[in-house]
Amino acid sequence: MTSGFDILHGLRRHKIVGGELFLTTVDFFVDWGRKSSIWPLTFGLACCAIEMMASFASKFDFDRMGVFPRPTPRQADLLIISGTVVKKMAPAVERLYQEMPSPRFVVSMGACSNCGGPYYDSYSVAKGVDKIIPVDVYIPGCPPRPEALYTAVQTLQEKIDAYWDAGKQILKPVPPSEEALKKINEAAISARGS
Amino acid sequence: MTSPTTPNTPPKNHGQATLADGPVFETKIEQVGEHEMILNMGPQHPSTHGVLRVVLKLDGEVITEAVPDVGYLHRGLEKLSENRTYPMNIVLSDRNDYLSAMNNNWAFCLAVEKLLKVEIPSRAEFIRVIVGELNRIASHMVFYGTYGIDLGAFTPFLYSFGRDREEILDLFEEICGARITYNFIRVGGVMLDAPEGWIERVKAFVDRMAPRLVEYDKLLTLNPIFIDRNLGIGRLPAEKALALGLTGPNLRASGPALDLRKDHPYSVYKEFHFDVPVGKGGGDCYDRFMVRRQEITESLKIVRQACEKIPSGPVMGKVGRVYRPPAGEVFAQLEAPRGWLGSYLVSDGTERPYRHHIRAPSFINLQALSDLVKGLKVADTVAVLGSLDFVLGEVDR
């Protein structure tokens, strides 16, 4: 897996008269922008939401990673499930997820949204938000510290990087072997014959 | 005028969420007039401070009816208590009102101690007062910051929430290892004695805070736009507040100086000198803000006095690791940052409570919302919601 912060690994530099020319693929460039501006939704559920707010405040300052809260799901890339998802709230959480534009990411913050946490035997609590929506990163803790949320954002950036790596292999295919070419030709001839 | 998606329509299931098959509670509010509109606010709304849903009926821009819909964070706390032993219940009480977990620990322990008739060492009482008051300051700082954001001032949040509250959390982390959920106050005393030099660091923090409060006032309290958004908005007369059962800063903003720390002093509150700030403007949003702002000053006074008077000695009374309180029922309450926080326990002589009820101040304070926003504009709803300062964990339990 490539590093989350090395932006140069997908660029090709060319010295030209008067400066430098950077060549890259659109995939890399879009993903570089995507991972550097992960905008979460201002959506707090319970105790973890207070730690999420602390992350956005001056001491931890997630703005330096481009993480800046947005109040509407239409502008958000990331849904941080920060607290207990109870059965009454579950349809609303799912609806919020459906309202977000793709690509969208979900971070399950804390024990409650991972698996029910201290309310594992409660009649009204959904035992894990992954029963409703897909989750990208899980953070343990009750509540997790802002540093843990920081790591989650880093992990998410690495994940977005991995998307680009997967795309790179498709863009530069390995030339097919002679045997494979033979098979393709044979298949084409037999298809024409019928 | 009927919109295709009225707020009363439950969200579509999409064939994935099996959890959505639970009961759907519809808020009963009906559209009558031709010019009336129903506006849904929440459960995801940046200024409802959690997952509260309010259904507003509007005539133009004026609110004619408001129905709060609670229960989006109902975790079944009281029922769960019956499945947990008494020490395990302290963990749950942390997550009840997560902005003042120390006071919630304390309220539960007060009730159990009343059942057990256990004597608390003096040093433990003083540590309880220090952490309880520090938690009150931290809670009011959250209010100060988020209320500013609600009314369009983002900067105060960075000072109160990002700088000063973090200093209190550092002090808590030093004494019990946690930032939000402490589980520090235990039945019979406190978990651990304060580490060496902690009391001095608390004193240093109190000294640092005094000039910073002047900064707070410059930033928000005396801001002309902020004053305009608050003065005369959401007036609550004292009789009405008493009739609704409001407690805490919300009640004191309307006039009555009811404070359990003064009227029925629990713990060692008798030994401290402090004032009870009350509102003088008829109980509007600005009064509710000012009472909390002044309470920070009063709490700092109490912390300073407690740091000076704290005796040495043990911090844990004579309580066994497993205890079975005698059968009976008990009610104990204290002055939490949001009002009178009560704990009602019924014991049947086993190690688990037979029944546990929490008198949650936020839930009762929320009752005032429907009356307060009637006749106001939509933008003022945010001011009233913010000034009531409720925590949804405590409302829904």
pLDDT at B321: 82
Name every chain A residue with its beta carbon within 8 A of the beta carbon of B11. Answer: 91-92, 94-95
Place of tokens 């319970």: A46
pLDDT, position A190: 77
Hey, CA dihedral for B130, B267, B321, B316, is it positive or negative? positive
Distance, in Å, from the CA atom of A152 to the CA atom of A137, rounded to the nearest integer, reads 6
Return the beta strands (E) in chain A as ranges.
12-16, 19-23, 78-82, 105-109, 137-139
pLDDT single digits (tens) A49-107: 899 989 988 888 888 888 988 888 899 989 999 989 988 888 889 888 988 988 889 99
Q: According to CATH, what is the number of the domain B77-396?
A: 1.10.645.10
- B43: its two tokens: 């459960």
Cβ-defined contact of A87 to B11 (cutoff 8 Å) = no
Task: Determine the pLDDT at residue B344.
Answer: 93
From first CA to last CA, the distance across chain A in angstroms is 47
| Residue contact A122–B76, C-beta within 8 A | yes
Q: Taking the mean position of all CA atoms in its chain, how far away is CA B262?
A: 19
> Chain B residue closest to A42 (CA)?
B46
The angle formed by the CA atoms of residues A20, A23 and A28, to the nearest 5 degrees, is 135
Q: Which residue of A has its CA nearest to B392?
A: A46
Instruction: Tell me the pLDDT band of A165, cut-offs 50, 70 and 90.
Output: low
What are the start-end ranges of the E strands in chain B?
36-41, 53-59, 62-69, 185-186, 189-190, 328-336, 339-347, 353-359
Q: Strands (DSSP E) along B134-194, which ranges? A: 185-186, 189-190
How distant is the alpha carbon of residue A181 from its chain centre? 38
Residues of B in contact with A87 (CB under 8 A): 19, 22
Q: What is the pLDDT of residue A176?
A: 59
Rounded Cα gap, residues B92 and B101, in angstroms? 10
The mean pLDDT value of chain A amounts to 80
Question: What pLDDT shows up at residue A172?
Answer: 43
Quick check: B73 and A45 CB within 8 A?
yes
Q: How near does any CA of chain B get to the CA of A24, in Å?
A: 39
Rounded to the nearest 5 degrees, what angle is found at the Cα of B319, between the Cα atoms of B355 and B359? 30
Facing A90 at nearest CB: one of B17, B73, B179: B17
Chain A residues near residue B91 by CB distance under 8 angstroms: 118
Tell me which chain B residues have a C-beta less than 8 angstroms from the C-beta of A83. Answer: 73
Beta bridge partners of B331: B344
Q: Report which of B224, B174, B199 is spatially closest to residue B308, judged by C-alpha positions.
A: B199
Q: Which two tokens stand for residue A108?
A: 């399950």
Local confidence pLDDT in tens for the 397 residues of chain B: 344 444 444 444 443 333 344 444 555 566 666 778 888 887 877 777 778 888 888 888 888 888 888 888 898 888 899 988 999 999 999 888 889 999 999 999 999 999 888 888 999 999 999 999 999 999 999 999 999 988 888 889 999 988 899 999 999 999 988 888 998 998 988 988 888 889 999 999 999 998 899 988 888 888 888 898 888 888 889 898 999 989 999 999 998 888 888 888 888 888 899 999 988 878 889 999 999 999 999 999 999 999 998 998 888 888 888 888 888 899 999 999 999 999 999 998 888 999 999 999 999 998 888 888 888 888 888 889 889 888 888 888 8
- Residue A127 pLDDT exceeds 80: yes
CA dist B362 and B205 (Å) reads 29
CA distance B106 to B323: 18
Chain A positions touching B50 (Cβ under 8 A) are 44-46, 49
How confident is the model at residue B138, as a pLDDT?
Answer: 92
CA-nearest of B98, B77, B108, B315 to B191 is: B315
Residue B320 is classified by DSSP as -
Q: Identify the closest residue of chain B to A131 by CA–CA distance.
A: B17
Residues of B in contact with A84 (CB under 8 A): 73, 75
Copy the structure tokens of residue B20.
């959505």
Q: Which two tokens stand for residue B136?
A: 């009150």
Task: Answer yes or no: do A94 and B11 touch at CB < 8 A.
Answer: yes
B74/A86 CB distance under 8 A: yes
**pLDDT of A14 over the 70 cut:** no
Alpha helices per DSSP H over B231-276: 238-244, 249-252, 260-263
Sequence ranges of the domains in chain B = 2-69, 77-396
* Residue from the list A46, A123, A143 with its beta carbon closest to the beta carbon of B73: A46
- Please judge whether B162 and A57 are an interchain contact, meaning their C-beta atoms are less than 8 angstroms apart: yes
What is the helix (H) or strand (E) element at residue B368, kind and residue range?
A: helix B368-373
Closest CA to A54 of B377, B70, B146, B300: B146
Q: Where are the beta strands (DSSP E) in B106-201?
A: 185-186, 189-190
**Interface contact flag, B16 A94, Cβ < 8 Å:** yes
| Interface mutation target, options B73, B165, B391, chain A, most CBs of A under 10 Å | B73
Q: Say yes or no for a CB contact (<8 Å) between A123 and B51.
A: no
From the list B17, B75, B142, which residue is nearest A86 (CB)?
Answer: B75
Distance from CA of B126 to the nearest CA of A (A): 27
Q: Nearest-CA distance from A29 to chain B in Å?
A: 32
